[in-house]
Chain A
Amino acid sequence: MLAAALLLGLTFLASCYPDDSLSISETDVVFTNYYDSVHDLFKNYTLYYMPDTVYNIDTSKNAKKIENQALILSDIASNMANMGYTRITNQDTTVTPHLVLLASGIINNKVSVYYWYPYYGWNWGWGYWNDYGWGYPGYYPPVPYYSSYTTGTLRIEMFNPDDTRIVKSDTIHPVYWTAGINRVLEGSSITDRITKGINQAFDQSPYLNTTAN
């Protein structure tokens, strides 16, 4: 009977995951993706505009403020410069940017889990934007599995202001490139992890380089 109990009991046992304690930085994940139709076109784009703000996806009253915005923006700008892009400001009224780049963050929300979903839907974009303001599409692909620890994701998204599509009677811009830098907005050593994460996002996206073949 003891053997029977053991044998059947095995099928109910929780699985074993040894050695699964991670340091804070080991929980950081960087995900990037691009619109495949423009993979070879990035070399044609050299001017970009990026607002001086890291937008907060969480617009609720209790939303946590996103810290280290200056660092985030300067890290992105230096990586963009290394890739051969020139940043223009909204005072540059004589030129139109080829690309608009938006940084956004979210803290204490599971919304970022979809970054680990293997297929990232491109049939959405910026629902609206006004004076390079920021509109959230409000749609996510389904998520098969996720952990409950998802917090502190920095997102970077890039689109072409001249490329518009009509989706469900909304005019949207398809996202050309996106980076999700997960967890770096929380925990310890935040500034180091932000810089490492942003650098990694560009390192793993060599097609963004305007001098690339």
Chain B
Amino acid sequence: MKRVKNIFVAAAMLFLSTTAFAQGGGMWNFDWNMAFPMGSTTDFVNQPTLRGFSLEGRGYVTDQITIGGIAGWTVFYQNNGWTQEPVGETGTIHGYQRRYLNVMPIMVTGHYYFSQGSIMPYIGAGLGTYYIESRDFMGLYYTQGKDWHFGVAPEAGVVMYLGSSSNTGINLNFKYNMAAKTKNEDTYSWLGINIGITYLF
């Protein structure tokens, strides 16, 4: 039921964003996502990842403001090799340890653009959910956590069009991702550096 509920939320976000697009154009962003773990996330995985992508639609509601939606997928991976660690109060385990985080954000976004033209710096934020699945492998065994986290993602970036009459450009932004603690799962946070192609419509 929880998953179904989240699908509805995602669908509602999409509806919202396509409604916005109808009012006066917008842009699609196809971005490659790099991510650097922050805070307590570094206790689980501290290695940055280059495995990530996102798809975002933004629609103009005024000349300087867009609202839209974003979905993405980032995979953190760290190979700790042969590791010995405590289990509970009295246990000890030794094995070949690998850790993974599969992160899928689905969010409503809003952006404010400081200028219009071929170079458009902006600030914005996403609000929605992160589905996060963590796995901690020892050999072939693993413990797993998975949950939908409430998420906030403020960002700052720039869209640069390739020429004054081009509707294609480059989007670059820095995004702080914060997935809130849930009943069973810890909070996660990371800095995203995202670069990709923007298509204006």
Contact with A along B1-26 (1 / 0, CB 8 A): 00100110011001000100000000
Q: Which among B69, B71, B95, B96 has the highest number of chain A CB atoms within 10 Å?
A: B95
**How many whole Å from A209's CB to the nearest CB in chain B?**
14
How far apart are the CA atoms of A30 and B84 in the complex, in Å?
Answer: 9
How far apart are the CA atoms of A10 and B55 in the complex, in Å?
Answer: 10
- A145 pairs with B144, CB closer than 8 A: yes
- A15, A19, A146: the one contacting B133 at CB < 8 Å is A15
Seen from chain A, the residues whose Cβ lies within 8 Å of a Cβ on chain B are 3-4, 6-8, 10-11, 13, 15-20, 22, 26-36, 39, 113, 115-116, 118-120, 144-147, 149-150, 182-183, 200, 204-205
Which segment of B135-143, B155-163, B165-173 sits at the interface? B135-143
How far apart are the CA atoms of A120 and B102 in the complex, in Å?
Answer: 29
- A3, A34, A147: the one contacting B55 at CB < 8 Å is A3
- A30 pairs with B94, CB closer than 8 A: yes
Does B181 reach chain A (CB closer than 8 Å)? no
Which segment of B31-39, B85-93, B115-123, B187-195 sits at the interface? B85-93
- B75 pairs with A26, CB closer than 8 A: no
How far apart are the CA atoms of A150 and B69 in the complex, in Å?
Answer: 43
- A118 pairs with B140, CB closer than 8 A: no
Contact with A along B94-113 (1 / 0, CB 8 A): 11101010101010000000
- A116 pairs with B143, CB closer than 8 A: yes
Does B73 reach chain A (CB closer than 8 Å)? yes
- A20, A33, A115: the one contacting B98 at CB < 8 Å is A20
Contacts of B14 in A (CB 8 A): 3-4, 7-8
User: Considering only CB atoms, which chain B residue lies closest to A149 in the complex?
Assistant: B140
Contact A22 B96, CB 8 Å, known A10-B104, A147-B142 = yes
- A8 pairs with B96, CB closer than 8 A: no
18 CB contacts below 8 A, A to B, read A7-B14, A10-B71, A10-B106, A16-B75, A17-B77, A17-B100, A22-B96, A27-B96, A29-B94, A29-B138, A29-B139, A32-B91, A115-B93, A116-B143, A118-B91, A119-B88, A144-B143, A183-B140
